[in-house]
């Protein structure tokens, strides 16, 4: 019997000095994500996103989204286990009504087990995003 890989949900928030309307295209489109999220992002006519990191391709679909609110990408299953319990990441935009501060809430559900390294990875990605949007 193959050992099952336990998936964990990692969540964190980042403050970004930019409006939600300005940020949204960077979290839901291949061209926007290509600018900060991966080495390359392509979308097929069937609406399958291909994310490339270090010459490795990972395919995902935009599982759900709401304009100016969030985008959730679900990775296409690579194993039987993934079919039952797919990995995903969600990028959610929220505004603190009191301070009018914009936050990007990241949810990353995967079998990545080093939470400290994952935090550093997302911090680096969000730094890229902030450079792109000037936030």
CATH 3.30.530.20, domain 19-133, yes or no: yes
Position 4 scores a pLDDT of 57
Q: Is 90 exposed, middle or buried (0-12, 13-18, 19+ CB in 10 A)?
A: buried
- Give pLDDT, residue 6: 86
How big is the chain, counted in residues? 135
Domain ranges within the chain, ordered by starting residue: 19-133
Give the residue ranges of the chain where pLDDT is below 50. 1-2
pTM of the model as a whole: 0.92
Residue 58 CB burial class (10 angstroms; 0-12, 13-18, ≥19)? middle
pLDDT of residue 121: 96
Per-residue pLDDT, 135: 73
pLDDT of residue 1: 43
Taking the C-alpha atoms of residue 12 and residue 48, their distance in angstroms, rounded to an integer, is: 26
With vertex at residue 76, the alpha carbon angle to CA 92 and CA 113, rounded to the nearest 5 degrees, is 65
């Amino acid at each position: 019997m193959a050992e099952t890989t336990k998936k964990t949900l990692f969540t964190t928030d980042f403050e970004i000095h930019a409006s939600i309307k300005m940020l949204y295209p960077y979290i839901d489109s291949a061209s926007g994500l290509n600018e900060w999220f991966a080495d390359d992002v392509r979308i097929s006519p069937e609406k399958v996103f291909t994310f490339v990191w270090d010459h490795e391709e990972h395919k995902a679909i935009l599982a759900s989204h709401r304009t100016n609110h969030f985008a959730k990408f679900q990775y296409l299953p690579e194993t039987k286990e993934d079919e039952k319990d797919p990995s995903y990441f969600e990028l959610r935009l929220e505004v603190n009504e009191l301070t009018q501060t914009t936050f990007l809430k990241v949810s990353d559900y995967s079998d990545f087990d080093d939470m400290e390294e994952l935090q550093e990875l997302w911090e680096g990605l969000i730094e890229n995003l902030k450079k792109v949007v000037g936030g």
